Amino acid sequence: MADSKSEIAADARSLKELDAGIVRCRGCRLWERATQAVCGEGGARATVMLVGEQPGDQEDLTGKPFVGPAGKVLDEALEKAGVDRKDVYVTNAVKHFSWEPRGKRRMHKTPAQQEVAACLDWLLGEIRLITPRLIVCLGGTAVRALLGPKVKVLANRGKFFDSEWGPKILVTVHPSSILRVPPEDRAQAFESLVKDLARIRDL
Ligand code: SF4
């Protein structure tokens, strides 16, 4: 009977089994301050897997990935890029919300490399079970997890990489970055994200 994180992730026979392991995981300290783990969501036969960074405040509260403001940007960008959400499985490199208090608010804190490395077993478990044809890394944390620290997002966005995991990997920015650019530049930043995501259809 598998009992370590890596064994459970490697041996799970379904997403349900994998998710049960994620929910119980204590592989790093992020679970201590999170409300719950946020597992991936989408069809088990999805051809495209989108990998973000980590759950945000609303994802942590609802237990669902990409339901906050960044998720709204992602939905709009996918629709404009002509990508059907039915073909897509959405997940994060890190499954618990990393945050720090600022007054009464919980502010996003970029997960440490050690936390990303600890959570990689789960992401690899998802890749093994779903066998997508393409993985889209949304932002630097996902890129670091799957392609390593030498691949920079802005220099490589819109490009395909081979991966040791099987599927091709496409690099683009995290949708939350669109919300951080000055309002006058936002439309252009959004169009650049749409252009990158439209490359999904090249496959
Ligand atoms: S962030 Fe990942 S490795 Fe850390 S406790 Fe949560 S599921 Fe486990």
Alpha helices in 82-199, H assignment, sequence order: 113-130, 140-147, 153-156, 176-180, 183-198
Which residue range(s) make up the domain with 164? 5-202
> 69: number of CA atoms within 13 Å, CB side?
6
The ligand 1 atom at the shortest distance from the C-alpha of residue 118 is: 3
Distance, CA of 39 to CA of 17 (rounded, Å): 11
* pLDDT score recorded for residue 160: 97
Q: What is the pTM of this model?
A: 0.96
- Return the best residue to mutate from 6, 28, 36, 124 for the ligand 1 pocket (most ligand atoms within 8 A of CB): 28
Closest Cα to atom 2 of ligand 1: 119
The total number of structural domains that make up the chain: 1
CA of 120 to the centre of ligand 1 (A): 9
CA of 28 to the centre of ligand 1 (A): 5
**C-alpha angle 53-195-56 in degrees, rounded to nearest 5:** 20
* pLDDT score recorded for residue 180: 96
* pLDDT score recorded for residue 203: 76
**Full pLDDT tens readout for the chain, 203 residues:** 466 899 999 999 999 999 999 999 999 999 999 999 999 999 888 999 999 999 999 999 999 999 999 999 999 999 999 998 778 999 999 999 999 999 999 999 999 999 999 999 999 999 999 999 999 999 999 999 999 999 999 999 999 999 988 899 999 999 999 999 999 999 999 999 999 999 999 87
* pLDDT score recorded for residue 87: 86
CATH number at residue 156: 3.40.470.10
Is there a contact between 118 and 31 (Cβ–Cβ < 8 Å)? Answer: no
CA of 26 to the centre of ligand 1 (A): 6
